[in-house]
């Protein structure tokens, strides 16, 4: 029942060989006298592409007798941070969306990190007729939390209490599998349940797909004082619930020429699933979220609807482990696939945590992960949070991407910098020392002076003495000293040369330094959706809040010489774009003036 869509999906050849089973296995011993075979359902381990938003249904008494188009299929998934591969989870969702013909309601058991990942993914994906509830195990009452974490059987017994307000039945799915077929075919298996069946597995000795009758299970718990000791008996009754021709393959086997029935053609098709609504669901009621909303109507920018697009976002696409220490600073940056080597160079110099948001296409995702996995510098760094924003539209939505990185920082402070700037060695230690000496960092922005070199592969200075020497020999310059001197002029490079202690500088219009601030800093204005004004507008936001800009004279970043990644000035040559950009800075300035009682003139910021 393959559907075919254009697109390309690169199979993950570097995936782990182990399939995560966070709660162990169900007891599925053979019980005599049960030989009924259920209808065919096919699922396999693999992974996958799409767009989602939250849609809240009222509690539904789901009919499973007929193929009612508007029946809501309830799915439960367990996704802890260290046992739930984000890419596998994402691909499983795409396989479900690709074949589905019914509304879906997801119930996901999470911890703090996976809760952020799940909610952001569903919100930014914007698939119609899809709902999400997350259940953070840390927020459950003690007895329930302990039962959820104890083992798989115990966790299943908690589902009635967690989910019964929303549904009477649920399908429990391992996030490591690829479902090939309409998940409603699994949902219909509930009508095969015998009167005393509470839980059923779809394949013998395999708990990847488990059907749970919450209503019966709840009654069973109520009538059994020590229900946990009876769980295995209940499950034994259901070992016969199997599927014909069920296929099971690990993700690593999803390659041409291997013993698997998942073809690359199928994966290619599923990879290009978007947020289109199946025709049958058009008649169903409910909320139909948009991927484009023009809440802030600016007529001058109507030619550029991309500024309001929702872009599908995957957080922490690779294992992330980091415990913040006092005065820790996270380097926050953004990039495209073509600039991955620059991130590699940064990570060799910055030994502290990094939050990196990358803007790429679906076809680049596997190459991106493979690059990290094979990089000698990156592959063993688990203090780097990698976040993916999938490309949509003509522009690089720079402030959207920056905010994705900013919202996912665990440390108290952040260093806001572009990916083509290399920090001096040990910069994070120097910055932490300065922070420790300051009475407060509230409303403070520590400025790291920026330099540039026009010499390919120039030697990066290690100390201030070295960069002064390179400056004297004209190997280094104030960044953009010719093309845009006002961007860094207030840093006062003349004073910088001889300064030994931090000094305060006066802000000027169009100032856009690279700064260290508290992580709760105001986010970037996402209306600035491409080149121009994106950083200037953010600095102005800090100025109206009375931030003080303090230059750290013994620190620096060097702009890495590289060939242009396209014509960055291209958009500035388009009159309609410049008209839109001027309007955006006008609106931004007006709103700040109104909110903070200031009187800035937007004309001061025009190019």
- Helices 86-99 and 112-125 cross at an angle (nearest 10°) of 40
Question: What Rg do the C-alpha atoms of the chain give, in angstroms?
Answer: 27
Q: Which residues contact 329 (CB under 8 A, 6 or more apart)?
A: 352, 411, 413, 414, 415, 428, 431, 432, 435, 516
Cα–Cα distance measured from residue 290 to residue 287, given in angstroms and rounded to the nearest whole number: 10
Whether residue 237 is found in the same domain as residue 326: no
pLDDT band at 162 (very low <50, low <70, confident <90, very high): very high
Highest mean pLDDT among 8-17, 301-310, 321-330: 321-330
Whether residue 315 is found in the same domain as residue 391: yes
142: CATH: 3.90.550
Cα–Cα distance measured from residue 34 to residue 242, given in angstroms and rounded to the nearest whole number: 11
Please report, rounded to a whole number, the percentage of residues in the chain having pLDDT higher than 70: 74
Mean pLDDT computed over 140-145: 90
Whether residue 246 is found in the same domain as residue 314: no
Last residue within a domain, chosen from 279, 294, 319: 279
In this predicted structure, which of 100-114, 145-159, 277-291, 376-390 has the lowest mean pLDDT?
Answer: 277-291
Q: Which residues contact 223 (CB under 8 A, 6 or more apart)?
A: none
Q: Is residue 29 part of a domain?
A: no
Report the residue count for the chain. Answer: 607
Mean pLDDT computed over 229-236: 40
> Whose CA is closest to 558, among 373, 374, 420?
420
Domain of 417, in residue numbers: 307-605
Mean pLDDT computed over 299-314: 85
Q: Is residue 16 part of a domain?
A: no
Whether residue 221 is found in the same domain as residue 320: no
Compute the 3-state secondary structure of the chain and give helix, strand, coil in percent, each to the nearest 5: 35, 20, 50
Q: Which residues contact 143 (CB under 8 A, 6 or more apart)?
A: none
> Whose CA is closest to 184, among 88, 41, 389?
41
Whether residue 380 is found in the same domain as residue 336: yes
Q: Is residue 14 part of a domain?
A: no
The pLDDT of residue 563 is: 61
Burial profile 312-339: b = 16 or more Cβ within 10 angstroms, e = fewer: bbbbbbbebebeeeebbbbbbbbbbbeb
Q: Is residue 95 part of a domain?
A: yes
pLDDT of 192 higher than 90? no
Whether residue 237 is found in the same domain as residue 356: no
583: CATH: 3.90.550.10
**What are the beta bridge partners of residue 43?**
179
- Contact yes or no for 291/51 (Cβ under 8 A): yes
pLDDT tens-digit map of 44-100:
433 333 222 222 223 333 444 444 678 899 999 999 877 788 999 999 999 899 888
Structural domain total, the chain:
2
> Whose CA is closest to 359, among 304, 402, 299?
402
Cα–Cα distance measured from residue 469 to residue 461, given in angstroms and rounded to the nearest whole number: 9
Whether residue 260 is found in the same domain as residue 407: no
Whether residue 93 is found in the same domain as residue 131: yes
Whether residue 347 is found in the same domain as residue 256: no
Mean pLDDT computed over 493-500: 93
The pLDDT of residue 38 is: 36
Whether residue 510 is found in the same domain as residue 593: yes
Q: Is residue 22 part of a domain?
A: no
The pLDDT of residue 267 is: 47
Burial profile 513-536: b = 16 or more Cβ within 10 angstroms, e = fewer: bbbbbbbebeebbbbbbbbbbbbb
For residue 603, the Cα-to-chain-centroid distance in whole angstroms is 37
pLDDT tens-digit map of 123-136:
999 888 899 999 99
The pLDDT of residue 573 is: 78
The pLDDT of residue 13 is: 24
Q: Which residue has the higher pLDDT, 300 or 404?
A: 404
Q: Is residue 284 part of a domain?
A: no
Cα–Cα distance measured from residue 336 to residue 300, given in angstroms and rounded to the nearest whole number: 28
In this predicted structure, which of 219-233, 414-428, 477-491 has the lowest mean pLDDT?
Answer: 219-233
Mean pLDDT computed over 253-280: 46
Whether residue 187 is found in the same domain as residue 315: no
Last residue within a domain, chosen from 279, 295, 323: 279
Q: Is residue 542 part of a domain?
A: yes
Q: Is residue 341 part of a domain?
A: yes
Whether residue 269 is found in the same domain as residue 376: no
């Amino acid at each position: 029942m393959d559907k075919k869509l254009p697109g390309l999906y690169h199979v993950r050849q570097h995936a782990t060989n182990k399939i995560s089973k966070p709660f162990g296995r169900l007891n599925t011993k053979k019980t005599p006298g049960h030989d009924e075979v259920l209808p065919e359902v096919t699922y396999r381990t693999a992974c996958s592409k799409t767009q989602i938003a939250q849609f809240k249904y009222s509690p539904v008494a789901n009919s499973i007798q007929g193929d009612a188009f508007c029946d809501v299929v309830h799915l439960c998934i367990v996704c802890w941070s260290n046992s739930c591969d984000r890419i596998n989870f994402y691909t499983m969702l795409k396989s479900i969306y690709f074949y589905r013909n019914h509304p879906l309601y997801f119930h996901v058991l999470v911890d703090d990190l996976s809760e952020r990942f799940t909610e952001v993914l569903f919100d930014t994906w914007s698939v119609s007729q899809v709902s999400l509830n997350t259940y953070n195990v840390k927020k459950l009452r003690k007895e329930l939390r302990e039962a959820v974490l104890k083992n798989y059987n115990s966790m299943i017994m908690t589902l009635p209490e967690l989910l019964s307000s929303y549904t009477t039945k649920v399908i429990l799915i391992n996030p490591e599998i690829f479902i090939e077929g309409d998940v409603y075919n699994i949902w219909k298996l509930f009508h095969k349940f015998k009167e005393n069946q509470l839980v059923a597995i779809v394949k013998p000795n395999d708990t990847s797909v488990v059907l749970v009758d919450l209503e019966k299970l709840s009654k069973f718990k109520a009538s059994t004082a020590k229900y946990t000791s009876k769980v295995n008996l209940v499950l034994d009754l259901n070992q016969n619930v199997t599927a014909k021709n069920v296929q099971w393959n690990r993700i690593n086997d999803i390659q041409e020429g291997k013993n698997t029935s998942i073809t690359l053609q199928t994966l290619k098709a599923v990879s290009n699933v978007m947020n289109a609504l199946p025709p049958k669901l058009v008649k169903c009621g409910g909320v139909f979220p948009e991927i484009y909303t023009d809440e802030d109507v600016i007529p001058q920018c109507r030619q550029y609807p991309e500024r309001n697009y929702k872009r599908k976002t995957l957080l922490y696409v690779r294992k992330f482990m980091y415990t913040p220490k006092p005065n820790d600073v996270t380097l926050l940056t953004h990039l495209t696939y073509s600039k991955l080597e620059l991130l590699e160079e940064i990570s060799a110099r910055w030994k502290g945590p990094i939050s990196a948001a990358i803007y790429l296409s679906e076809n680049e995702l596997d190459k991106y992960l493979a690059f990290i996995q094979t990089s000698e510098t990156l592959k063993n760094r688990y203090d780097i949070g990698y976040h993916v924003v999938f490309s949509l539209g003509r522009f690089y939505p720079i402030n959207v991407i920056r905010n994705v990185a900013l919202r996912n920082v665990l440390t108290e402070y952040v260093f806001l910098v572009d990916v083509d700037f290399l920090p001096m060695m040990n910069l994070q230690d120097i910055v932490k020392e300065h922070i420790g000496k300051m009475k407060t960092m509230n409303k403070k922005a520590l400025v790291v002076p920026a330099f540039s070199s026009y010499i390919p592969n120039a030697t990066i200075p290690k100390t201030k003495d070295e960069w002064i020497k390179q400056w004297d020999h004209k190997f280094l310059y104030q960044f953009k000293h010719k093309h845009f001197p006002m961007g860094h002029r207030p840093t006062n490079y003349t004073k910088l040369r001889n300064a030994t202690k931090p000094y305060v500088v006066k802000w000027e219009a169009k100032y856009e330094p690279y700064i260290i601030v508290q992580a709760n800093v105001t986010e970037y204005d996402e209306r600035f959706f491409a080149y121009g004004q994106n950083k200037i507008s953010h600095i102005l936001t800090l100025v109206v809040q009375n931030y003080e800009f303090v230059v750290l004279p013994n620190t620096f970043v060097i702009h890495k010489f590289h060939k242009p990644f396209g014509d960055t000035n291209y958009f500035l040559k388009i009159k309609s774009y410049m008209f839109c950009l001027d309007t955006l800075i006008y609106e931004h300035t007006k709103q700040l003036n109104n909110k903070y009682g200031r009187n800035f003139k937007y004309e001061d910021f025009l190019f």
